[in-house]
Amino acid sequence: MSQETKPVPGKKRQLLMKDIAEIAGVSKSTVSRALKGDPRIKAETRERIAEIATAYNYTVNEGARRFRSQSSHVIAIVSRFDPLHRPHAYDPFFQNMLGAIADAAGETDYDLLLSHFPGGDHRWEDFYLHSNRCEGLILIGQGNDDNQLNRLASEGANIVVWGAIRPHNSYVTVGSNNFEGGFLAAEHLLRLGRRNLLFLGNADLPEISQRFQGFLKAHVEAGVALNHLAVSTPDFQTLSGENAIKDLIENGTRFDGVVASSDTLAMGAIKALHRKSISVPRDVAVVGYDDVSLAADYSPALTTVSQNILEGGHALVQTLLALIDGKQPSSVELDTRLMVRESCGVALS
């Protein structure tokens, strides 16, 4: 048991850290480290300081701490949204990713600040560089702005991007192995005997382009003629997938499998097929991408490529904190996994 804690005569105001230090007979820096649970401070000392703080109802003034350190202790999440930059506030993928980032940030003492900017609007750059409202930034919506992102990285910006990892990029990226994901989806359908697959999504975007290349590679390895049909969509929303499939059906295009570059596109495809009385999976098998929370509960349950969004959110936060600490972390590429469910069906007879 530690020695008795005696009150300081005449002290009626809120105690400061220096007062705790005086009572404990240690330095202010020792008090600061002890209250943070720093293992470099002896357990006996940490216990005594904690008892003193409790006895005097001492709490850390976060505002003052951040002012002294000239640190906002805020991580900004910037999403860009327009037809070519994926995140929309109501997009299931974005909602799942935001939750994963929030969970990861909750394990730190950083707060989150969320901002949306239309694609092509570069005000988010000024927001980060000049506002001093955040120490680092997570960007969701890579688009094709490599020049801007590379410039920010060269200027020492603490920025991590969710997206496709490409060798020529100097900025730090966290993302899934898109090539592998596209390969797994197409390989699975080809193994089931599907021979006329179409790829749904905008292959001009880096992530989607990599998925499409994996889709093509699966055909080559399976020795199946490339009767693929790449169908570009303006965005990742359900309605876009529905409209694309509807147009194909009405134009007489024949296909027996769909590899969609997002779960929302896949859900739209299934909706269009059902409206045309085409059975999923008997007539057309469908595979999505992302494994959002709704995928397993969709009807039919959606076969999809999991990016492990939970791990992705954690990697984004930890990589950004490493940048803030002055380190030079490498980009992180997450493995993908095919989640086989009802929408892919079985081998054709």
Residues 194 and 172 placed together within one structural domain of the fold: no
pLDDT digits (tens, 9 = 90+) for 130-187: 567 788 899 987 877 788 888 888 777 889 999 999 888 889 999 999 999 999 999 9
Residue 75, pLDDT > 60, answer yes
Residues 158 and 229 placed together within one structural domain of the fold: no
Omega prior to 83 cis, within 30 of 0: no
Number of domains in the chain: 3
Residues 329 and 212 placed together within one structural domain of the fold: no
* Domain limits for position 90: 74-177+309-335
- The pLDDT of residue 5 is 46
Residues 214 and 150 placed together within one structural domain of the fold: no
Residues 258 and 223 placed together within one structural domain of the fold: yes
At residue 297, φ and ψ (nearest 5 deg) are -100, 0
Q: Which helix (H) or strand (E) holds 169?
A: none
Which residues fall within 8 angstroms of residue 99, CB to CB, at 6 or more apart?
313
Residues 183 and 156 placed together within one structural domain of the fold: no
Sheet order of strands, 332-334 included: 111-118, 74-81, 136-140, 159-162, 172-176, 332-334
Residues 168 and 192 placed together within one structural domain of the fold: no
C-alpha dihedral, 261 to 264 to 265 to 271, nearest 10°: 150
Residues 169 and 182 placed together within one structural domain of the fold: no
Q: pTM here?
A: 0.75
Query: What is the crossing angle of helices 43-55 and 17-24, to 10°?
Result: 120
Residues 186 and 282 placed together within one structural domain of the fold: yes
Q: Which two tokens stand for residue 171?
A: 């900025």
Residues 138 and 211 placed together within one structural domain of the fold: no
Residues 182 and 303 placed together within one structural domain of the fold: yes
Residues 246 and 172 placed together within one structural domain of the fold: no
Domain assignment present for residue 108? The answer is yes
At residue 52, φ and ψ (nearest 5 deg) are -65, -45
Domain assignment present for residue 139? The answer is yes
Q: What band does 229 get if pLDDT is binned at 50, 70 and 90?
A: confident
